[in-house]
Amino acid sequence: RWFTHFYVISVLWNGFLLIWLFQAEFLGVSLPSWIQHMHHALGRDSQSKDTGKYSSYYDHFSALLVLLLLWLHSCRRLAECLWTSIFSNGVIHIVQYCFGLAYYMAVGSTVLCQVPANVRNGKEFSVKICWYHIVGVMMYIWASLHQHRCLVILANLRKSKSGKVISLSHSVPCGDWFERVSCPHYFAELLIYVSMAVTLGFHNVTWWCVVMYVLFNQALAAVLCHEFYQKNFSSYPKHRKAFIPFVF
């Protein structure tokens, strides 16, 4: 339940960044001074001077698209927390809570900092859709749909056929990707972040570091859930993996 706060922050903060980047790209509005200071601190000013080399490694439209996907992901997860998921009375550690708030603010800033502070540099902005944009967005939609389906399956385990909540206990989920792994919603989360790396054109090392963080974070959570299922349900399907189908 406390994850709802993370997505509220993410929707507001990343929505704010998305508006600024949209204005900078399409309207030529300068980015706020604090963003330019952040660029300078991260060494982005030096990169932006070599526009030819920089443009070959990064597409401004990719950053705008990824920030949009990140914001839409946060909106969907917030909606699911409010109207889909049925939470137990579990609590969260204060350190994890503070880290989560910081993470969802930092991840959007990470995307924005891939763009030079002087975004337009006096030139007209042109949208150039590449094949990796299409592949990335399709992968994003595919993973998002499956994540939503899996969250609906988990929520329905605690509801009656009429939709009334009848229990807050854990049960064995079945259907969709649950037939292969114990935590498909965590696997889908990883695929969503990988899809954003694809949308960035595969070559953005910074974002791949984010993907690696999500990989280890979600894998750890999946292993703990998998062990919980095996310990508490003697008839739990033995062919299911914890996180990645057929692999792990």
Amino acid type, 71: W
Residues 140-157 as b/e (b if ≥16 CB within 10 A, e otherwise) read beebbebbbbbbebbbbe
Check if the beta carbon of residue 73 is closer than 8 Å to that of residue 192: yes
What would the pLDDT profile of 184-207 be if each residue is shown by its tens digit? 999 999 999 999 999 999 988 989
Angle at 175 between CA 170 and CA 181, to 5 degrees: 75
Please state the pTM of the whole predicted model. 0.91
Reduced to 3 states (helix: H, G, I; strand: E, B; else coil), residue 165 is strand
- What share of the chain has pLDDT > 90, as a percent? 69
Q: % helix / strand / coil in the chain, to the nearest 5?
A: 65, 0, 30
pLDDT band at 126 (very low <50, low <70, confident <90, very high): low
Lowest mean pLDDT among 93-97, 124-128, 134-138: 124-128
pLDDT band at 118 (very low <50, low <70, confident <90, very high): low
Reduced to 3 states (helix: H, G, I; strand: E, B; else coil), residue 181 is strand
What is the pLDDT at residue 113? Answer: 80
Q: What is the mean pLDDT of residues 76-93?
A: 94
pLDDT band at 46 (very low <50, low <70, confident <90, very high): very low
Cβ-based burial of 73 (10 A; exposed 0-12, middle 13-18, buried ≥19): buried
HSE, side-chain direction, 13 A CA sphere, residue 229: 22
What is the pLDDT at residue 218? Answer: 97
Residue 194, both tokens:
């990988």
Q: What is the mean pLDDT of residues 223-237?
A: 96
Q: Which residue has the higher pLDDT, 31 or 150?
A: 150
